[in-house]
Amino acid sequence: MLERFKRSIQPLINIYHLIGAVIATLYYGFPSTKLKVVGVTGTDGKTTTTHCIYHILKSAGKKVSMISTVYAKIGETEYETGLHVTTPDAMLVQKLLNESAKNRDEYFVLETTSHAIDQNRNFGVHYELGVLTNITHEHLDYHRTFERYLRTKSRLFRQSKISILNRDDASYDPVLAELNRTKSKSTVKSYGLANEADFKIDLNKVLKLQIPKYNNYNYLAAYSVCVELGIAKQSILKALKSYKLPKGRYELAYDEKFMVIVDYAHTPNSLRQILSDLRVRADGRKGRLIHVFGSAGLRDAQKRPMMGSESSQHADISIVTEEDYRTENIETISKAIISGIKNSGSRIKNETVIVIDNRQKAINKAVALANKGDIVVCTGKAHEKSLSRNGEEDPWDEFAAIRTALNLRNP
């Protein structure tokens, strides 16, 4: 009933945001027309790619600002952009674009979500270039079908002078077909490793970065964008050597007898990518992989069993816990995750599936269980500063929680 009501009023919400975006664009005087705006969209890897493009441009001596999931950086000033939000409200987007234009920036990198596109929050933004990381299962509570989700993402490229798509992702052909169907005037280019593409370079091999395969694609996306923007290839390669991942992206929080890693992964695909990489690392260390994770409440429920399945296919111990359950029953969420674990042909036994509702206690348990050579990975929260519980935002710091757990283990 609630879902039906939400869907019935969504067109009104979209109109509301459109009116707000029009007002904001007029009020700030079309600031994006004074900048070369790069839009980054995709299910996974948006933030890493956004920060990477920003770093390359900055390293090349260009004046650039950005908005990402983690924060906004306008000139030398950082801004918080809100809780659990990637692309902010239209008024804030236009305000920050205006600040960037006043700073005499040449470029602006804008992480752009499907929600922002569908709700017209990015209306009035003139994109010089749009880049796609991938499109996988996510947000179907909002978009209802994968096809709608894909079409929404495609709208960014209809607004972009140049579009750069991932040739190796399953979304490539459908997005291209959608652009052809809508008679898009965008110039389409591609990047990839497995298939023929306009930009094809294995940065892992060239730069000896030893990064996970999925980050190789994020780096390649950023490389492709910057080449297209006219940055010298040698400058790009030099910048990539010094690039550090954003906070909470494959971040090492502890490394002594065992390792603790924090990552934002919260979709089936992103879990598959990071857990498969860590599985290899754990095997190399002759250790176990211990995974702490949950799934957001009042969001895409279809992905929960899939997330459980991914965890159980790669981890030795899965600890299911909270991740912004909002006002939904946390037991319902956990049961859905566990249904995927039980039905996945799991590598683990039921006694190594642990449910601990409180995230701090779950992390405490994971750290207490860790032996020499083990890897503990905590996914889903990363950089976020709060946990949504029963409709309230409680302060949260994933790294502080890990420090607490380590102190309890080694007082």
Cα–Cα distance between 239 and 245 in angstroms, integer?
13
Q: Return the CATH number of 251-409, one of 3.30.700.30, 3.40.50.300, 3.20.20.70, 3.90.190.20.
A: 3.90.190.20
Q: Where are the domains of the chain?
A: 8-242, 251-409
What are φ and ψ of residue 272, in 5° steps? -60, -45
Residues sharing a CB contact under 8 Å with residue 392, sequence separation 6 or more, in sequence order: none
Question: Could you give the CA distance from residue 109 to residue 68 in angstroms, rounded to a whole number?
Answer: 8
**Can you tell me the distance from the alpha carbon of 227 to that of 23, in angstroms, rounded to the nearest whole number?**
35
Q: State the Cα–Cα distance between residues 88 and 85, nearest whole angstrom.
A: 6
- pLDDT at position 142: 66
The pTM is what?
Answer: 0.90
State residue 182's pLDDT score.
Answer: 94
Quick one: DSSP state of residue 352?
Answer: G
Mean pLDDT, consecutive 10-residue stretches, the chain (411 aa), reads 60 82 94 98 95 98 96 92 67 96 98 90 94 82 78 94 97 96 96 97 92 92 98 97 94 97 95 96 96 94 94 95 95 96 68 92 97 97 94 95 95 68
Q: Does domain 8-242 have CATH number 3.40.1190.10?
A: yes
Cα distances (angstroms) measured from residue 12 to each of 17, 89, 364: 9, 16, 45
Tell me the residue type at 7. R
